[in-house]
Structure formats: structure tokens, C-alpha cells
Structure 1
């Protein structure tokens, strides 16, 4: 799954703003009136055909399923409803029913996946408790147990990511670090970083902002205030989960592989035979855009972004996984374990063995 480039996003939003601006001015500038018959149909074409096609070429293509075109078209109709005067859309009211029918069909399919997941919960929990994997982190075991019972899909990837987030944010505060077993070696990567302090500071700022901003928005628009509050609470859960995930998912070296789980959002598992070299990093502090695409950054965000300690290069590209099922091929990894010399010696020893 290819990452969305910044250039593609910027191009899409520029074209989107041009379409919305042109249609808005069409109905509000006096010198173009009276408007010709069928002008609303042209606007509908822009919003439910042209915009989804732009979304496909700039964002969806090679990254997501075609089924995401339908929600984009439905959102386009919502924008058209705000831009085009209501009287002009009344002749084309059947369009929204077609879009809602398609979206309802997709929703039923996703609800079916949720139903299947619920029915498989006993089997999933049993497998999590009894099936010992080479990577002992609970997040990895939950993911593997779910994917063993259900066929992976984008919607299931989202559910798994959300379950992991709520589990780490609510259920792991009393858990301690993993126990070493089966010749595994584990290495923390957060104790010499201020990343946890940064997340705590963001939580503090988020709580203060949520309280004050909610009352300000509530006096203007209740719906917007509720949406903003929900998003802030969701972000709060994410930051809490990220703190615990960083604390409880160390780097792991086994007899066969290296597992690098960076909080909730990043995971890279590499067989030892695919490691070409490990060296102390002496490159630039900031990589070029092209170079960064091929590097898995396992260094935590910090108040002062420092250079990584190690650079590990692979014999061929490896697949890095991110939240919600995103994937990217990488050729190198940059990382900064808390015990760099012990990590270096352990990895060299495992590779030689």
C-alpha cells in the first residue's frame, strides 16, 4: 500500500477548492443571472462525478478500494446541498436516494464483518491466551489471532487498530514490561527520550483546549461543538494509548527475527537473514524526501529531534505496517535503543549464530 504523497494531497485540495469556489460564485454573483436551465445538473456532475474522480486519481488509486468512491460522492452531494440553492436541486432529489442506497449496502457489509468478529471473540480470546507466538507483545498476538479467524480487509484493519487503541488506553496501566523467554532479548527505546513527556504535555493542552473551546463553539453551533468534543476525546484516548504502547512494546530480537513496534502506529518485523548491515549512523539529520520514503523511522518524536544511533540496511525491501492497514516498502531502519551497545552486540551475535 503506497503512502499518499504530499504533492497529491495538495493538488487534490487545490482542485477541490476551485470547484467549490466556482460553483459557489455561480449562484451568488449577480451578473451571471438569470441562470440557464440545467445549471444545477452541471453542479451535481461536478460534486458527485468530477470530485470523486479527482479523489480516485490523486488519493484512492493504488492505495484504497474503489468502494471509497461512494462515500466521496455522498460527501460531494452534501457539499452540493450547501452550495446550490434548494429549489434548483428538487428536480434531482432521486440522486441522493441512489447514493444513500449504495452507502447503506456498504454499511450492511461492514456490519456483517462486525457481526462475524463478535461471533469469533471466544475463539480469538482463547487463541490469544494459549497460542504463544515468537513475538510476545499482546498487540501482535491480538492482531494475529483476529486475522487467523477472519480474512483481512481494510475495514477489519481499522477495527483492529481501534481495539488496540482502546485496549492500551484503558486496560494496561498496571501492566509491566514483557518477560524475556526463549532466548529473546528486549530493548526499551523511550527512557532516554522526552517523547512520553511530550505526549503528557499534549494531553494537558488538549484537556484545557477542549473545555474552553467547547463552550465557545457551543455558543455558536451545538453540532460543531459536539463534533469537536468527540474528536478531542478520541485524540485523548489515542495519546494515552500511545504512552502505554511505547512503554510496553520494546524492540525484540529473537533467534530468527527483529521486531520493531513503535507505539501504536508503526511495526516492522525483519528476518535476521534479511539484514545486510548495522552501523552507527553518521548521515544527515534530515533526509531528502526520496530517501525518507525508503527509511523506517523508529526514533520517537522528541522536543529536540536528534540523529538516530543506528542504521540497519536490508538485503531487499521489507514491508512496514502502520495503523489502519497502511503499508510501505522500506530498505533501511533508523533507531535509537536505550542501550545501544548491548543492542548492537546482541544483534551481531544473533546474526552470526
Structure 2
């Protein structure tokens, strides 16, 4: 496993090389010129590359091995074969590529069914969220998981709905009580500066690019508008979701980009030594520190007994063994955490 993890750049490089070599072979003058008169062997080799080698390299680069991933990536390879290899030399292997397309159609149909289920159960989900005592960014995903099977597409959809809600509809919502993460920082000013920069860049760049390439200017315009929505949502979500403490856990989030539930019984110790807090945060540390014009340092780091799963953007999840926190009421938070640890 260590060899696989350290070799990730190699797997990605090989994946790109396999894809590019097959693109060049069938879609450039040089590639076409070296094709033999009898192309069956070459096409068969390309199919092996796209259906077997590329999925294997993809899974090695992701360090994720499963039958589902293998089938989906192999099916994607079949579709790539239909796109890259000319039909006249692909004819002997058409049945193989059609099988891949059939698998992709089934998968897409299943994903669409999940979205339909999500929309169908949305009233119940919203009702469950209103009844919950937890912050919305914890209550909503929990309600979705209760009614709809957990799926990456559904998680992405929820993430986008979250962003739209906080960016547009939640500005008049009352800020709940709790320990905030941003009030004693220049976080809001920093975010407004970023949004201001994006707006100015959009106006200037779109005007200039519109004459050069209308498609590129529209794509960049859409991306910049999305970025503005994202940063507005991030600001509002930070404001409306202070740290939430219950009898058995701490619910902590920063905007829509990360959140985690930390059970008091999972906290091994609270690191408060100045020397430790000044060190660069490690990869296994999840940071809840507001971005400012200057880099902020944590006021405490929670060392956990076992890895805790945190939810990140687009529904992605990752495990962490330490939690770095900088908040507006550090003494109050430390006392609450110590009380929780003593009772567990």
C-alpha cells in the first residue's frame, strides 16, 4: 500500500500517457501514417489500454479499488474507444463498445432515479430539518441520508442547493447563539475583497474576450458568477453556523466547505502549548481557522483517539486525527470541551 501511495504521480503520468498515445494514434497525421494495413491487432491493443489499463491506473492513482469503480471506468473506456477510434477500423469490436455504452446508460438511469427520489422526498426532508435541533448544515445532510440512498450525485446536488440557499435566501435569517469563528477576524473584509476582485475581473476580461472568443468569454463569465455565489454562500454560512455544543458532541463547521461532528469521548487531549500551536499544520489536521489578510494560528488543537470523518465540498469525505480551532470565545469553548470530556 505504501508503494501505491508514493507512486501516485507515476500512475497519473502513465494514465495521461496511455490516453494521449491513443488520441495521437488515431487523430493525427503521424499516428495514421504508422498504422499497419491490418489494424485488428492495433485496435485490440487500444481496447486493452482503454478498458483494462486505464481503469487500473485510475484506481491506483485514487487508491480506491472496487468492482463498481472497475466496471464504471471500463465502461467509460468503451465510450472513449467509440470516440477516439474511427468506425471503419473499430467494426470488428463494436459489440464490446456497445456493452460499455449500455452499462453507462444503466448507471445514468439509476442516478436519475435517485434524483427523482430526492425531489419526491424533499418536502419530508425539509420538514425533518425544521424539527431538528441541529444546525441546518448538519440537519439537512442527515435528513437526505435518511430518505435517499447515499450517492455522490445526490451529495453534489445537496451541496449545490446548500450554496444557492445560503447565497440567496438566508441573509435575513437570525444568527443563532453559539461560539463564532469569524467576528474577531478580518474574514468578512477578506471575502468581500475577493468578490470585488472577481466582479472587476469579470467585467474587464469578459469585455475583452467577447471580441476574441465568444464561447470562452461565456464560459469564464459563468465560472466567475458561480465563484461569486460560492463566496457569498461561504460568508453567510460562516455567519449563521457558530459552533454547536450538545451533551455528547461538538458540531463545528466553516461555511459550506467543511464540517465535522466531534464526540467528546473521541477527544484524547486539547493541545494548548504555544510551541505546538505555532507549528505548520499537518495533513491529518482539519483546520477551522478563518482566512484573513495574515495567516491565523489555532488557539487549540484537539487530538483525537481515532480518526473522525469530516464532510468537505461536493459531499466528499476525509478522515482526520486532529482538529485545529480558532474562535471568538476560546476560553468558553475549552471549558465546555473539558466538561464534556470529563462526563464521558
**TM-score (norm: length of structure 1):** 0.80
SS at 1:292 equivalent = coil
Equivalent in 263, 268, 272 of residue 276 of structure 1: 268
3-state DSSP class of the match of 1:333? Answer: strand
SS at match of 1:189: coil
> Which deviates the most, 221-230 or 255-264?
221-230
Q: Mark the CA change 1:272 to 1:164 in structure 2 (over 3 Å): closer, same or farther.
A: same
Are the aligned partners of 2:250 and 2:262 in contact in 1 as well (CA < 8 Å)? yes
The corresponding residue for 2:60 is: 57
Do residues 323 (structure 1) and 313 (structure 2) align? yes
Give runs of aligned pairs for residues 1-353 of structure 1, distance below 5 A.
Answer: 10-24=9-23, 26=25, 27-29=28-30, 33=34, 35-38=36-39, 39-59=42-62, 61-62=64-65, 66-67=68-69, 70=72, 74=76, 77-78=79-80, 81=83, 88-89=89-90, 97-129=98-130, 131-133=131-133, 135=134, 137-178=135-176, 180=177, 186-214=178-206, 222-281=214-273, 282-283=275-276, 284-287=278-281, 291-293=282-284, 295-352=285-342
| Richer in helix (by share) | 2
Is contact 2:202–2:224 with CA below 8 Å preserved after alignment?
yes
Supply the distance in 2 between the matched residues of 1:195 and 1:276 (Cα, whole angstroms): 30
C-alpha displacement at 1:334, in angstroms? 0.8
Q: Is the 8 A contact 1:260 1:267 kept in 2?
A: yes
Change (3 A) 1:91 1:209: farther
- Contact 1:166/1:237 (<8 A) preserved: yes
Deviations 1:163-213 (A, max 9, x none): 2111111111112211x4xxxxx2111123333333323322333334444
Does structure 2 conserve the Cα–Cα contact (< 8 Å) formed by 1:47 and 1:77? Answer: no
Kindly state the Cα deviation for residue 76 of structure 1 after the two structures are TM-superposed. Answer: 7.7
Q: In structure 2, do the counterparts of structure 1 residues 285 and 79 end up closer, same or farther at CA, with 3 Å as the change threshold?
A: farther
Deviations 1:26-75 (A, max 9, x none): 4443896353522344334323432222112211615x882585367537
Distance 1:229 1:49 in 2: 38
Cα distance in 2 between the residues matched to 1:99 and 1:216: 43
2 CA distance for matches of 1:68 and 1:46? Answer: 14
Deviation sequence 1:312-351 (CA, Å, 0-9, x none): 2223332222233333332221111112223223333444
The number of residues matched between the two structures is 334
Deviates more, 1:6-15 or 1:267-276: 6-15
Q: Which runs of 5+ in 1 are unaligned?
A: 181-185
For the structure 1 residues 65 and 111, does the alpha-carbon distance in structure 2 shift closer, same or farther, using more than 3 Å as the test? farther
Cα distance, 1:18–1:216 mapped onto 2, change above 3 Å: farther
Query: Aligned partners of 1:53 and 1:90: how far apart in 2?
Result: 25
- In the TM superposition, residue 241 of structure 1 has moved relative to its aligned partner by 1.1
**TM-score computed with the length of structure 2 as normaliser:** 0.82
Gaps (5+ residues) in structure 2? none
**DSSP-derived class of the 2:251 partner:** strand
Distance 1:217 1:68, change over 3 A: farther
